[in-house]
A and B are shown apart, each in its own frame.
Chain A
Amino acid sequence: MIWDQSFALSIIPQLLEGLQVTVQITLLGFAIAVVLGLVVAVIRRLEIPVLSRVLGGYVQFVRGTPLLVQAYTAFFVLPAYGLRFSAVVTGVIVMGVNYSAYCAEVYRAGIQDVPRGQWEAATALSLPAHSTWARVILPQAIRSVVPVLGNYLVQMFKDSAVLSAITVFELLNAAQSIGSSNFRYLEPLTLAGLLFFLVSFPASHFFRTLERRLAPTH
């Protein structure tokens, strides 16, 4: 099979549409993941009886099952229980929930790294618990994990290709459908891979630089 340049050029608009969906799903899923993950990490740390343990189990379970299985379950099984969403919405939720478990672990490490003296200073100033978290602990914990979260964003961007399995019309799915309707897979799949790379490479480079700049100040 020889590279067909004019075919390749002609399919770029369609692929860019797919890329747009990929980016949207990634950003929305990431927004869910960073917020949900933070809530999970904080509640776990608060050691609330039952609830903290349940969330610990949640983290273990989500991390211990493949994203693809989670996506299939959400797409094929949940509707039977009356939870019916479009493929895109299902995809966003699955990505968000999946990565929330990883984010929760990252935050947990970040929270643990805040020196004990910070908690003690907050107690000595009689700061209420919510101010201690919001003003003292989390700003430091989150700052130290921003680069790791950034890497997860990049990883999520690539992992979102899994959602083509549940009919989400993202970049990989766009490439596949171009391939099957034209009986030519070389150009669409190559270009799809290239587009993934063109976004993820500079992004991970950016987060590596950020990591060096945000090195802890303690």
Chain B
Amino acid sequence: MITFQQVSKRWGDNEVLKSLDFEVLPGEKVSIIGPSGSGKTTILRILMTLESPNEGLVTVNGKTLWDVKAGTRPKEAKEMRAARRDVGMVFQQFNLFPHMSALENVMEAPVKVLKMDKEQARARAVDLLEMVGLAKHLEHRPPKLSGGQQQRVAIARALAMRPKVMLFDEPTSALDPELIGEVLGVIRELGHSTDMTMLMVTHEMRFAEEISDRVATFDHGRVIERGAPHEIFNNPKEERTRKFLKAVLEH
């Protein structure tokens, strides 16, 4: 469903991704873990077309998202836009539209992009917001909602575009501890009830272990180790994975 082939990304001298090869199969739930600055967010942002690689090929659902030869400029192509439609993203900082109600946030893209008629879009938005437990907050604007509620609206908003791939970039790291559970609950439910491909960056190790089919550890823009969650967490082969897990679990 997702492939990275020989993808490189640099900012100045800082080589964030180094000829990365990475793959996620259809329907797979994959967690990316790794130390700060290892390039986890960059991978998701390239998939969401918020950053462009300096080099390499990225495909989503069989469509070319990026195809950049060394030394050429990446450009926005028609196929990229088609590929992007298959991807939805949930941001660390929610990024809801603050001037729109929860309902309007969720309806906006289906109406404007999928050209769904308003009534149909509204009905679906109501269903999605009910699914994430916000039936009582349809008309509330984001500033009136708690962080956990905002993030759940953001999940509903991304789902409204019926993505084949959902990206989560530390979806709970901006939340107060007591609100983390409600958001993880929604993501967990999503993982169990859909065959959507999910790629998430998280520092919630227990959650990653429970929800993932596969876990990949990253360091310095490379995959250090990948495998089933119980292997990675209980029996890591790589020294660097062990070190990272030790550091996180001691926290």
Write the residues of chain A forming the contact surface with B, with a CB cutoff of 8 angstroms. Answer: 115, 117-118, 120-121, 123-128, 131, 135-136, 139-140, 143, 217-218
Contacts and interface: CB of A to CB of B under 8 A. Distances in A.
B98 A124 contact: no
Interface stretch (B53-61, B87-95, B129-137): B87-95
Interface stretch (B29-37, B108-116, B197-205, B212-220): B108-116
Most buried by B among A115, A120, A121, A125: A125
B11 to A, nearest CB: 16
Contact of A127 (B95, B98, B112): B112
Contacts of A117: 91, 93, 95
A125 B161 contact: yes
A120 B112 contact: no
B135 to A, nearest CB: 22
A136 B50 contact: no
Contacts of A121: 91, 95-97
Nearest to B114: A126
Given A123-B50, A125-B109, A126-B113, 13 more contacts: A118-B97, A120-B48, A120-B50, A120-B91, A121-B97, A124-B88, A124-B158, A126-B81, A135-B112, A136-B97, A143-B99, A217-B98, A218-B98
B40 interface: no
10 contacts: A118-B95, A121-B91, A124-B158, A125-B88, A125-B113, A126-B85, A127-B112, A135-B108, A136-B97, A140-B98
Interface of B: 48-50, 81, 84-85, 87-89, 91, 93, 95-99, 108-109, 112-113, 141-143, 157-158, 161
Contacts of B48: 120, 123-124
A214 to B, nearest CB: 11
B50 A128 contact: no
Given A139-B99, A143-B99, A124 B89 contact: yes
Contact of B84 (A126, A136, A217): A126
Contact of B108 (A123, A127, A217, A218): A127
Nearest to B48: A124
A128 B91 contact: no
Nearest to A121: B95
B112 A131 contact: yes
Contacts of A127: 108-109, 112-113
Nearest to A115: B95
A128 B50 CA distance: 15
Most buried by A among B48, B88, B99, B161: B99
Contact of A217 (B49, B85, B143, B161): B143
B106 to A, nearest CB: 10
B49 A123 contact: yes
Nearest to A120: B50
Most buried by B among A123, A126, A143: A126
Nearest to B143: A217
A113 to B, nearest CB: 12
Contacts of B89: 124
A136 B97 CA distance: 7
A89 to B, nearest CB: 37
Nearest to B96: A121
Contacts of A136: 97
A131 B161 CA distance: 16
Contacts of A131: 108, 112-113
A126 B109 contact: yes
Nearest to B82: A126
Nearest to B144: A217
A128 B108 CA distance: 12
A126 to B, nearest CB: 5
B82 to A, nearest CB: 10
B95 A120 contact: yes
A135 B99 CA distance: 9
Contacts of A217: 98-99, 141-143
A217 B145 CA distance: 12
Contacts of A118: 95, 97
A139 B65 CA distance: 31
B236 to A, nearest CB: 33
Contacts of A140: 97-99
A8 B98 CA distance: 53
Contacts of B50: 120, 123-124
